[in-house]
Chains A and B, each alone.
Chain A
C-alpha cells in the first residue's frame, strides 16, 4: 500500500465504522 500519509485516516475510518 502507498505511504501517502492516508493509511492512518483509513484506519480511523474503519475503526469508526466498526465501533460507531
Chain B
C-alpha cells in the first residue's frame, strides 16, 4: 500500500483474493487504485505449486459500474515455483453493466496453463470518483432541495480527530470536493459533491463539531443505493 500518497487517492494494502489451496497453487492478492484519472487493479501472483505456470489471462463478469480490463493480463515470462510477479492491470468502465449485490462486487476469472479459477472481491467506491466531480454551486443548491429529505441517508463517522480544513483537503485528494463551508453555532458544515464514473452525482453535508471526533455525514443521491458505499469511502479516505 501507500502508493496513493503520490497522487493523493488512498490505496489499501493488497489482500489475498484467491488462496493457493483453492487454485492449484496459484495465489492472487490485490488492491484497486486510481491515479491520474486511471483505475488499476494491482495484483501479485505467486506460484505455490511445484510446476511452472504460464498462459495467464483474466476476465471480469458483468458488474454494476462496467469495470473491465483495458488490456490483457501481460505476464511476459513463465512463473516458476515460489516466484511472485506484480502486475498493474489498467481498467476502464465501458464494460457490460449488471447490478451486483453488494453493489461493488466484482467476479473475476483467471486462467493459466493448469486451470481456470474464479474469485470475487469488492472495490472501494472512491476509485470511481472522477476528477470533475465539483458540482456547480447553483446546481448543488437546486439538487439538494429537489431530492426529498426521505431520500437522505445519514451516517456517523466516529473517531476522526481532524478539523474541517484537514478533512476538506484529504477528501479533495480523492475527488470529493468542498463547494461551501459554513459555521453555524460553532459547528462546521461542509457541502461537498462527487461524481461517479457512470455520471451519478452524490451530494454531501459533513457536520463537524469542535472537540467532537464524531462527524455526521448526510448524503443525497438520485441512486440512494450508492450511499452506504460512499460513506464507506469517506471512512476509508479520512482514516488513512
- Assess whether A13 is in contact with B191, with CB atoms less than 8 Å apart: yes
Cα–Cα, bound, A4→B137 (Å): 9
- Assess whether A18 is in contact with B137, with CB atoms less than 8 Å apart: no
Cα–Cα, bound, A14→B181 (Å): 9
Interface string of B126-142 (1 = CB under 8 A from A): 00000000000110010
Q: Chain B's interface: helix, strand, loop or mixed, by majority?
A: strand
- The smallest C-beta distance from A13 to any residue of chain B, in angstroms, reads 7
- Assess whether B184 is in contact with A18, with CB atoms less than 8 Å apart: yes
A-side interface size class: 10 to 19
B-side interface size class: 10 to 19
Pick from A6, A9, A14 the residue with the most CB of B within 10 Å.
A14
- Assess whether B189 is in contact with A17, with CB atoms less than 8 Å apart: yes
Contacts A1-B180, A13-B191, A17-B205; is A6 near B141 (CB within 8 Å)? yes
Q: Which residue of A lies closest to B188 (CB)?
A: A14
- Assess whether A18 is in contact with B138, with CB atoms less than 8 Å apart: no
Contacts A17-B189, A18-B187, A18-B189; is A10 near B138 (CB within 8 Å)? no
Residues of A within 8 A of B191 (CB): 10, 13-14
Residues of B within 8 A of A (CB): 137-138, 141, 144, 180-182, 184-185, 187, 189, 191, 205, 207, 218
